[in-house]
Structure 1
Amino acid sequence: MRGRFVVLEGGEGAGKSTQLACIREWLAASGREVVTTREPGGTETAERIRALLLDSPDGSITPTAETLLVFAARSLHIDAVIAPALAAGHDVVCDRFVDASFAYQGAGRGVDPTRIAALESWVCGSLRPDLVIVLDIDPAEGRARAAERSAPDRFEREAPAFAERVRQGYLARARAEPGRYAVVDAAAPPEQVSARIERVLGDHLTP
């Protein structure tokens, strides 16, 4: 039996790392084998692409190049990690996936969403998450949280308007397909966010 594919999305400072652990523990408690991973990344080469995306040495990455780099990393990630784990019956929990491309490169950078959809079809085939949880937070609050964690990366240094476009991109995706998406208020205390996520998991996934 194919495993379940759960994706956690959201802007900077939304608390994805904390809640990724919550999801992993919830799935494991029911006896599931769980693989946790992230995008961009998940393999050695994809992690190198991630490093380039987060801190371009010469600042020359255009929106088109950024989109292609993300999907190049995604192709490696799917082939080496996600697809084999799902085929083995393991659940996969991923920190960001294709929705991040529609939010960051599409809504944020202005890349034509039909081009992103074409890349999704080519790279992902029929693979789609069973559940996408969007951690929603005001970008200013999220960036303040992120600043406490580490120095800002290339995306966190963008203007506030960029972060708001990304947020609205996520929310638009969730509104378009409410049966497969759940939006969770990430501004609440972490334990409240975790409780809400556990309810979402219980509503959407069978044991």
Structure 2
Amino acid sequence: MSAGKGLFISFEGIDGSGKSTQARRLAETLRAEGHEVVLTREPGGSPGAEEIRRLVLEGEADRWSAETELLLFTAARRDHLERTIRPALARGALVICDRYVDSTRVYQGVTRGDLRATVDALHELVIGQDPDLTLLIDIDPQEGLSRAVARAGGEQRFEDMGLAMQALMRGAFLDLAATAPQRFRVIDGAGDADTVAGRVRAALG
């Protein structure tokens, strides 16, 4: 990482993996090291995308078809890219994003109707921006689901799909990492937050 040179880092993982905590912890660490850091999330990260977030993460698990869900997520990502990610990278900031297109590849592309080819086609056509580095926080699906359910809240649509879905998503994330080893770093999510944070920072070199 060089001062003044933009870098785009995404965090991925199943629900309850601790990726949001680790994204926040990494942002704090890098700011302390003197970097400008923009910490953001998907869906969301810009005013318009945050409005779409409420549509897709609240309500019944079958509220949207897989195809409709994919279009909503893509629209949110485009707004996020235009208004938050690209301006930050252009001024040399480090962008840390809690979820990005790989979550769409897993959630809508694999577990919601085998739409992976459609996800990739939309990404190429409408988005066209991949992270420089993706940190996949890997955790046992049962532990992840237990954590996700314990934190409760209104954004529970995907957690409500159950353990089998969590296991399927974990496998899909690991498959993605295996196909793009130059971009992915798989981080063991077991242990306390400090231990995992150390693994995350070490993965950046």
Name the TM-score class by shorter chain. Answer: over 0.9
Partners of 1:108 and 1:2 lie apart in 2 by 36
- CA-CA distance at 1:59 after TM superposition: 4.2
The number of residue pairs the alignment matches comes to: 201
Correspondent of 1:65 among 64, 68, 71: 68
Give CA deviations for 1:111-146 in whole Å, capped at 9, x if unaligned.
321111111112222x21111000111121111111
Question: Which residue of the other structure, out of 9, 13, 17, is the alignment partner of 1:14?
Answer: 17
1:169 CA drift (Å): 1.1
Per the alignment, residue 205 of structure 1 pairs with none
Runs of 4+ with deviation above 4 angstroms: none
- Whole-angstrom CA distance in 1 between matches of 2:175 and 2:64: 26
Q: Partner of 1:121 in structure 2?
A: 124
**2:162 counterpart residue number:** 159
Give secondary structure in 2 for the equivalent of 1:37: strand
Partner of 1:194 in structure 2? 197
Counterparts of 1:132-171 in structure 2, within 5 Å, are 132-151=134-153, 153-171=156-174
Q: Matched residues in 2 for 1:72 and 1:154: separation?
A: 19
CA contact (8 A) 1:20 1:93 kept: yes
Any idea what SS the aligned residue of 2:10 has? strand
Structure 1's unaligned 5+ residue stretches are 203-207
Per-residue CA distance 1:64-107 (angstroms, 9 max, x = gap): 01111100100000000001100111110000000001111112
Report the TM-score when normalising by structure 2.
0.92
Instruction: Name the TM-score, length of structure 1 as normaliser.
Output: 0.91
| Structure 2 residue 72 is the aligned partner of structure 1 residue 74 | no
Cα drift, residue 58 of structure 1: 9.3
Q: Name the CA shift for 1:63/1:28 in 2 (closer, same or farther; >3 Å).
A: same
Q: Provide the residue aligned with 2:56 in structure 1.
A: 53
Q: State the SS of the aligned residue for 1:106.
A: coil
What is the Cα deviation at residue 27 of structure 1?
Answer: 2.1
**In 2 relative to 1, CA 145–131 (structure 1 residues): closer, same or farther, beyond 3 Å?**
same
Q: CA deviation at 1:60?
A: 3.4
Alpha-carbon spacing, 1:47–1:135, altered in 2? closer, same or farther (3 Å) = same
CA distance in 2: counterparts of 1:27 and 1:123, whole angstroms: 30
CA contact (8 A) 1:63 1:111 kept: no
State the identity as a percent.
42
Instruction: Indicate conservation of the 8 Å contact 2:61/2:161, yes or no.
Output: no
Are the equivalent residues in 1 in contact too, given 2:109–2:118 (CA < 8 A)?
A: no
How many Å separate the matches in 2 of 1:21 and 1:182? 17
Q: Partners of 1:171 and 1:57 in 2: how far apart?
A: 28
Question: How many angstroms apart in 1 are the aligned matches of 2:78 and 2:95?
Answer: 16
The DSSP-based 3-state class of the residue aligned with 2:12 is: strand
Aligned mate of 2:175, from 163, 166, 172:
172
Alignment gaps of 5+ in structure 2: none
Distance 2:72 2:89 in 1: 24
Q: Where do 1:14-53 residues align within 5 Å?
A: 14-53=17-56
